[in-house]
Amino acid sequence: MADDERIEQLNRMGRGLLPGLIGIEITSLEHGLARGRLAIRPEHLALNNYLHAATVIALADTCCGYGCMASLPEGRTSFTTIELKSNFIGTARDGAIVSEARLVHGGRTTQLWDATVKDEASGKTIALFRCTQLTL
């Protein structure tokens, strides 16, 4: 399956699930790398009118998860997140945010992923994210 077809298939599969519900779109996917985008809507904000932390985590974790699916070792068919951590160093109120997730360690049973979330327009980093995936 061509990369564009695979990305469209994953975006289609995400509809009706959390990624689709909040508007995450995967824009690039290959072994060890996934990129995604989220156009900010009012419902993505917290009571203080800044981007809700859970919105940022959802984008980063989704990119890592889709990247994991594209990078599963031979004989593995799925994964689950077993640990995650995020450091927030900025925010956004409108526009869009983008994430780039990279495979740091691809072992037989676990994968370690790092993701950076940025404001699309300014390129300013909003969050640094790391997660560990257990491959199944």
Domains for the chain: give ranges and CATH numbers. 3-135 (3.10.129.10)
- Burial class from Cβ neighbours inside 10 Å (0-12, 13-18, 19+) for residue 19 reads buried
Residue 1 predicted with pLDDT over 70: no
**Cα–Cα dist 92/96, whole Å:** 8
Contact 38, 22 (CB under 8 A): yes
> pLDDT at position 4, please?
87
> pLDDT at position 3, please?
78
- pLDDT category at 92 given cuts 50, 70, 90 is very high
DSSP state for residue 43 in the 8-state scheme: G
Closest among 35, 11, 23, 15 to 116, alpha carbons compared: 35
**Cα–Cα dist 89/128, whole Å:** 8
Closest among 32, 75, 59 to 120, alpha carbons compared: 59
Contact 112, 132 (CB under 8 A): yes
Residues 16-68 pLDDT 10s: 999 999 999 999 999 999 999 999 999 999 999 999 999 999 999 999 999 99
Q: What is the DSSP string of 47-82?
A: TTSSB-HHHHHHHHHHHHHHHHHHTPPTT---EEEE
**Cα–Cα dist 105/57, whole Å:** 20
Full-model pTM:
0.96
